[in-house]
Amino acid sequence: MTAFAGLERISGPRASHEAPLLRVALMPGDEPLVAPGDRVSPGTPLLRRPRHPQVAEQPLHGRAAPGPGTRVTDGAALAGAGRRALRFDGAGEVLYVTPGGRVRAVVSRHHALVASPASGIVEALDACGLVLRSEGPVLSASLAVGEPSHGPLVVAVDGPEAELHANRIDVRHSGAILVAGSRVDVEGLTRARAMGVRGVIAGGVIGSDVLALRASIERQDASIQPGPSFALVVLDGYGKRPIPRSAWEALVACGGQEVGLSITPPLVLFGPGAGLPPVGPDRVRVAAGPLLGRNGRFVRLVGSRRRPGGVFQECARVALDPVALPGSEELVDVPIADLERDG
């Protein structure tokens, strides 16, 4: 029998891994500023995105039809010459030409830059998106809202079970990525954005707060003056959920270092030289049930066990770490559906 036999039946791991692929969606009118093979660093502009885009159209009048995707420059002749040249009021790109001979384009007078959240190489670029292979370890997350962002990491709470309250966020955190503990509410998110915070990492979040944050971002996008990019990355799911112990240790170890936040997929991105604490291959975490948040060591599978309510579930024996003072491990049979691997 091999070491840790049966551990492969437990989901995971959540531990960091190398060189993930990040994807930035391309919207109509977006102008890529990089090409496949280019090397980027945190803050490198990836594309120019129109703000308040509109679909405009102009008649061809027998002029040569520009192909879909042709870039449009504000006031510049797209086809023809002189006073009868084909021009658009704003910059963007051609969408298509109608059967009736009219050119339709998405244009805007105002644009914003979407920057890279991490160092890496542009792997691919097509009409739907840009793919970036980042460098360095990452932490996988359950949910991300906002735009890719980056900044110095600041641990703003005392422990993985603590909550970040709005009154603990001030202008000292401007430009930073905050670690918010088990939960951050909509008041904290609103204040963080007002103070210039670039992102928040939390263990859990309430669904209504996610909807409120998305609505706030949409209102900001509709304003005249755009704000800096902001991202919320949720590591463990909905509700009040402590940050997983291995993730907490990695975040504390990298406090003060530059990190990035990816939206697709939801990730916390560390620099190539980040030294993350090692995680034992037998380490597991209780991700659901009454023991939520406890960590321990996988011992062995114990087969089907009768659980509360008369339900039989496949279980594993776990040596849970002491809660407070150092002491002997606590052996508990936990359903494997409630466990996840830390390493």
The predicted pLDDT at position 77 comes to 84
Task: Give dist(CA 38, CA 121) in Å, integer.
Answer: 6
Task: Give dist(CA 269, CA 271) in Å, integer.
Answer: 7
Q: Which of 41, 37, 50, 48 is nearest to 131 (CA)?
A: 37
Task: Give dist(CA 337, CA 10) in Å, integer.
Answer: 7
Task: Give dist(CA 250, CA 106) in Å, integer.
Answer: 44
The token pair at 171 is: 């202008």
CATH tag, 7-11+279-341: 2.30.30.30
Contact 131, 23 (CB under 8 A): yes
The yes-or-no answer to whether 7-11+279-341 and 134-270 have a common fold is no
Residue 222 dihedral angles phi and psi, to the nearest 5°? -80, -10
Tell me the pLDDT of the chain (343 aa) as tens digits: 456 778 888 877 555 556 788 999 999 999 999 999 999 999 999 999 998 889 999 888 778 888 898 999 888 888 777 777 888 888 999 999 998 889 999 999 888 899 999 999 999 998 889 999 998 888 889 999 999 999 999 999 999 999 999 989 989 999 999 999 898 888 999 999 989 999 999 999 999 999 999 998 888 877 767 778 999 999 988 888 889 888 898 999 999 999 999 999 999 999 887 777 887 888 898 988 888 888 888 998 999 998 888 899 999 999 998 876 566 788 999 999 999 887 6
The count of C-alpha atoms lying within 13 angstroms of the C-alpha of 246, restricted to the half-sphere facing its C-beta, is 29
Q: Which of 18, 277, 273, 10 is nearest to 140 (CA)?
A: 18
The predicted pLDDT at position 36 comes to 95
For the chain, domain boundaries: 7-11+279-341, 53-108, 134-270
Residue 135 dihedral angles phi and psi, to the nearest 5°? -115, 135
Q: Model's pTM, two decimal places?
A: 0.85
Instruction: Please state which of the four CATH numbers 1.10.3470.10, 3.30.2390.10, 3.50.30.10, 3.60.20.10 is assigned to the domain occupying 134-270.
Output: 3.50.30.10
Contact 60, 136 (CB under 8 A): no
